[in-house]
A = this chain, B = another copy of it.
Amino acid sequence: MSTVIKGGTVVTADLSYEADVLVEGGQIVEIGKGLKGDEVLDATGCYVMPGGIDPHTHLEMPFMGTYSSDDFESGTRAALAGGTTMVVDFALPNPGESLLDALKRWDNKSTRATCDYSFHMAVTWWGEQVFREMETVVKDRGINTFKHFMAYKGALMVNDDEMYSSFQRLAELGATAMVHAENGDVVAELTAKLLAEGNTGPEAHAYSRPSQVEGEATNRAIMIADMAGVPLYVVHTSCEEAHEAIRRAKQNGKRVWGEPLIQHLTLDESEYFNADWDHAARRVMSPPFRNKKHQDSLWAGLQSGSLSVVATDHCAFTTEQKRYGVGDFSKIPNGTGGLEDRMPMLWTHGVATGRLTPNEFVAVTSTNIAKILNCYPKKGAILVGADADIVVWDPKKEKTISASSQQSSIDYNVFEGHHVKGLPRFTLTRGHVAVHDGEIRTQEGHGAFVAREPNATVNRALSTWKELTAPRPVERSGIPATGV
């Protein structure tokens, strides 16, 4: 059975043009005028864009014997409702756990996904086993991105020497390094100090992770990646300091990407000063929301290309779970939602204001990350042969965001009350019309794993340059016969 999307304007990262899109067997099979298909989706007045890719989610993430509330079913359903057709989740080994065992756990959870997905591998500890298994993960499991936590001391955090070793291993394997960049030592010290001083409320979460600690860690990760000769992707870049470090690196020709979250682009730190504890606690995530200066920086980064991807870090903890931290902000689980709202919020605040062109919108929500992840043009493209992950975007459609009407399973929404204009009319996941003009038709288990090859073009170019400029010994005759 074929589906034709008729009468719309195809909008890619590259260009915009009027054309119908014909889908069959889960792929785009033809693009052109006057196409016919079994099922017709009317795209009149709409933009036909690559479905969004959210490269930063934590679905059904284990936490203190429980889990983040959106699993691969509800999470991907929320994603599709908002025009996102692929998510990339982080497989997190426990301390000492085999990378492959951790992946098995994630494989199990992801069987219920309603759209395609991939995994980043987290390197949460270091040892000969990890070193060895990384090769298997890359070559056999189709994963070329490895995340390192520079925060969460005593849990996920790795030290500089471990990061260097891991990064160097990634360079050998043609894979890409990722970091959660906050100085975990300093966060731990500030946290202890704040609690000791009676700063126990959710606002102290923000106090404990100021933009300086994020900027520092970002800068450090960049240096280590440069020394190891590996491209670096910095997740959830939330502040000017981190962005500045990324810009400075790029200005020196380094291969670094930054990922602002939709939350940091549109919400600010004043949320934490809300008199309602629940309101504030629900917004607790790391890095925390920042002020307007930082927001302006992030937007400009998207405009100039110094930041590359808009994500969500979707990690949905319920109000009940958030209340673990009453009396001690450090016990509030870190994370919040966004999967369903990323694209409408970014369109409303980005494209409708003129900050971004529609093509740039596609670039930062889909195409750029598909290239970075090395799954382009299977994903992130409206091209013949590409997967039919498509959103038919209606720029006139509007709504007010509310938890009461959302797909996500959490009991609140950090964008509650925000009005958006620009929403999916249809969302297709590998050809299946999962969102049909407001009606949700997702299929549990429809989603498939997306394997991704190493040695992307940027990795190869960087390796060439590093080889060319590697240290060379000086030819010397006059070496003294012996040391003392």
| Partner-B contacts on A (CB < 8 A) | 13-16, 159-161, 164-165, 168, 183, 185-186, 188-190, 193-194, 197-201, 203-204, 207, 210, 212-213, 215-216, 219-220, 223-224, 226-227, 244, 247-248, 250-253, 255, 272-278, 280, 293, 296, 299-301, 303-306, 320-321, 323-327, 331, 351-359, 371, 376-377, 457-458, 460-468, 471-480, 482-484
Contact = CB atoms under 8 A, between A and B. Distances in A.
A153 B136 CA distance: 32
Quick one: copies of this chain in the complex?
4
Contacts of A185: 159-161, 164
B476 A201 contact: yes
Contact of A278 (B280, B465, B478): B478
A461 B355 contact: yes
Contacts of A207: 471
Contact of A474 (B273, B351, B458): B273
B357 A277 contact: no
17 contacts: A15-B371, A164-B186, A186-B227, A199-B473, A201-B479, A216-B223, A216-B224, A247-B251, A250-B300, A251-B300, A253-B299, A275-B474, A324-B484, A325-B483, A326-B479, A351-B461, A357-B461
By Cβ-Cβ distance, the 5 closest A-B pairs, closest first, are A354-B464, A354-B465, A250-B304, A160-B185, A253-B300
Nearest to A376: B15
A200 B305 CA distance: 38
Contact of A326 (B199, B357, B467, B480): B480
A354 B224 CA distance: 20
A46 to B, nearest CB: 17
A189 B164 contact: yes
A461 B356 contact: yes
Contacts of A255: 303
B212 A480 contact: no
A284 B34 CA distance: 56
A186 B224 contact: yes
Contact of A16 (B15, B353, B457): B457
A161 B188 contact: yes
B216 A189 contact: no
A480 B272 CA distance: 15
B473 A198 contact: yes
Given A186-B224, A457-B359, A465 B199 contact: no
Contacts of A359: 457
Contacts of A326: 479-480, 482-483
Nearest to A198: B473
A478 B355 contact: no
Which of the listed residues A164, A358, A479 has the most CB atoms from chain B within 10 Å of its own CB? Answer: A479
Given A323-B483, A331-B483, A356-B461, 10 more contacts: A164-B185, A198-B473, A213-B227, A250-B304, A251-B300, A324-B483, A353-B464, A354-B462, A354-B465, A358-B457
A473 B203 CA distance: 7
Contact of A354 (B204, B251, B354, B463): B463
Contacts of A472: 199
B216 A220 contact: yes
Which of the listed residues A224, A253, A326 has the most CB atoms from chain B within 10 Å of its own CB? Answer: A253
